[in-house]
Amino acid sequence: MSPTAMHTQIKLWVNKQLRYNPYFYQKLNTVQQERELSFAELECLRNKRFLKLINQAYCKSPFYRNLYDLHDVNLRQIQSIEDISQLPVITKTDLKEHIKEIFIGHRLNSIKAFTSGTSGPPLQVCRDYQSTVLEGAYHWRQRIDFGHYPGMKTVVLRGDLHRDQREKYDPFTRSLFLSSYHLSEKNAPWYYEKIGQFAPHAIYAYPSSIESLANIFCMLGKSISIPLVFTSSETLYHHQRTKVEEVFNTRIVDWYGNAERSIALEQRLDGKYHELPLYSVNEYYDEYAITTGLINFSFPLIRYRVDDIINLDKTNSKIASGCRQAKTIQGRSDDILLLPDGSRIGMIWGIFDRVPNLFRAQVIQKQLETFQVNLVVSPDYGPQDEMFLRNKITEFVGEQVHYTLSYISDDQIIRAKSGKYKLIVNDLLGKKPVTPDLVTA
């Protein structure tokens, strides 16, 4: 074995010891037992975590001390989560300008992470080892619910490799990492053979990466059976779920969260997205959410604005805060079309659902009166498919706005530096502030 290969194996072994050690299994057992707690017990624990968080932030963080003093916040009047509205809201700008004053952990226990930068420069955030393990425990609780356990063979398609790498195998976790940068019709047989021979129990992927893999398999006229696909880090659109589940004869299980670790919603066996009561405190508005993370005390994010549109399932009004379900997760607030009459068209993924021979679409809006639809299609795409698509667009947006269809290659799709993809790229919202109304808190 070469020195480089030996170094890689040592790194993989160390990584497993850090991620899957007795401390991890202790946390996994803890989050599994959360499901057995009564609502009263959960509320008691949530309030304890919340009060500890804000008091610790005020005592140790110059940022929060100055912020709360400026807004005349009296922490003695904050007796529970019900008093959270007395605290001011913070934004990404605050994080960018005051990251050193917000971080209150030990620098040797600081893990840097970055947001994707889909709609702007990447934002640096900090985590500690304890919160990273707890985050992993929540993810594994979800996977175990669906019958996927640590040590089962897994393909990872999440941009973990450099552009000059095509694959890497981790024998300690039985994970085969495949490049998400080389997904093309030319390389389709290689991916099909690698995955077929490896026969994984699950694939971990960005929604756009697994959609690309489904597309190139469609080009081959091939399908494959993988029991489970776990997606996260991007909005999972309905048309992507439909396509992937058909091509891979699988079930997609999605996880909604953010790099800041201030909110998480897990998809469960019933197919719905559920809040994690001891992970975060969430307040939902028309165009954004206000989140308070309860797992990372080294980098407290208290009433932190997240520009994602999350619509609650209101069919059961008796579900209390911390145990609610999301009906839809639309994605970022700029994932909408603006129409001349003031209408906002958000959930446009239905336009592209089951359009024959369509591999990928992206909507670009730079002017109010018009937008452009970029399409990646198969060689079999024809006039009848275009007419079908145009009819669906008209159903969604009417005839008040002009649009153009442009046929491009997949590498011309706009992505963040991390490779993440957005269905709508709207330049208008960055120019004009939007003030949404409260939906529920």
The per-residue pLDDT for range 263-304, each reduced to its tens digit, is 999 999 999 999 999 999 999 998 889 999 999 999 999 999
**Of 65, 68, 71, 70, which Cα lies nearest the Cα of 102?**
65
The pLDDT of residue 316 is: 63
**Tally: H helices and E strands in the chain:** 10, 22
Q: What are the residue ranges of helices labelled H in 231-296?
A: 238-247
Write the single-letter amino acid at 73.
Answer: V
Relative to beta strand 370-377, strand 438-440 is: unpaired
Q: What is the spatial distance between Cα 248 and Cα 174, in angstroms, rounded to a whole number?
A: 20
Using CA atoms, how far residue 383 sits from 388, 402, 418, in Å, is 9, 19, 35
Q: Greater confidence, 423 or 141?
A: 141
Tokens of 45: 């624990």
Residues of the chain with pLDDT > 90, as a percent, come to: 53
Strands 304-306 and 337-338, sheet pairing: unpaired
Q: Which of the residue ranges 32-41, 216-225, 257-266, 345-354 would you say has the lowest mean pLDDT?
A: 345-354
Of the candidate ranges 27-31, 54-58, 140-144, 239-243, the one whose mean pLDDT is the lowest: 239-243
Higher-confidence position of 418 and 85: 85
Per-residue confidence band for 135, with pLDDT thresholds at 50, 70 and 90: very high
Strands in 258-321 per DSSP E: 264-267, 273-275, 280-285, 289-293, 304-306, 308-312
User: Average pLDDT over the chain, rounded to whole?
Assistant: 86
Query: Are the CB atoms for 139 and 333 separated by under 8 Å?
Result: no
Position 33 scores a pLDDT of: 95
Average pLDDT over residues 232-243: 87
- pLDDT category, 343, cuts 50, 70, 90? low
Give the pLDDT band of residue 373 (cuts 50, 70, 90).
very high
Task: List the one residue out of 157, 154, 259, 245 whose CA is nearest residue 206.
Answer: 157
The fraction of the chain above a pLDDT of 70, given in percent, is: 89
How do residues 139-170 score in pLDDT, each as one tens digit?
999 999 999 999 999 999 987 777 778 899 99
Lowest mean pLDDT among 38-42, 188-192, 397-401: 397-401
Query: What pLDDT, on a 0 to 100 scale, did the predictor assign at position 99?
Result: 92
Q: Per-residue pLDDT for 249 more than 70?
A: yes
Flag whether pLDDT at 347 surpasses 70.
Answer: no
With cut-offs at 50, 70 and 90, classify the pLDDT of residue 186. confident
pLDDT at site 440: 30
- Other C-beta atoms closer than 10 Å to the C-beta of 393 total 19
Beta-carbon-side half-sphere exposure of residue 436 (alpha carbons within 13 Å): 19
Q: Using the predicted structure, report yes or no on whether residue 330 has a pLDDT greater than 90.
A: no
Amino acid type, 386: E
> In terms of pLDDT, which residue wins out, 250 or 422?
250
- Judged against a pLDDT cut of 80, whether residue 195 lies above it is answered with yes
Which pLDDT score, from 0 to 100, does residue 57 have?
96
Give pTM, 2 decimals: 0.81
What is the pLDDT at residue 48? 96
Indicate the pLDDT class of residue 435, thresholds 50, 70 and 90.
very low
Residue 43 to residues 38, 80, 100, 279, 320, Cα–Cα distance (Å): 9, 9, 31, 12, 10
Q: Rounded to an integer, what distance in angstroms lies between the CA atom of residue 234 and that of residue 231?
A: 8
User: What are the chain's domains?
Assistant: 337-440 (3.30.300.30)
What DSSP line would sit under 15-62, residue for residue? HHHHHSSHHHHHHHHHHHHHTTS-HHHHHHHHHHHHHHHHHHHHHH-H
Confidence of residue 441 (pLDDT cuts 50, 70, 90): very low
Q: Considering only residues 429 and 244, tell me which one the structure prediction assigns the higher pLDDT.
A: 244
User: What pLDDT is recorded for position 328?
Assistant: 81
Confidence of residue 82 (pLDDT cuts 50, 70, 90): very high
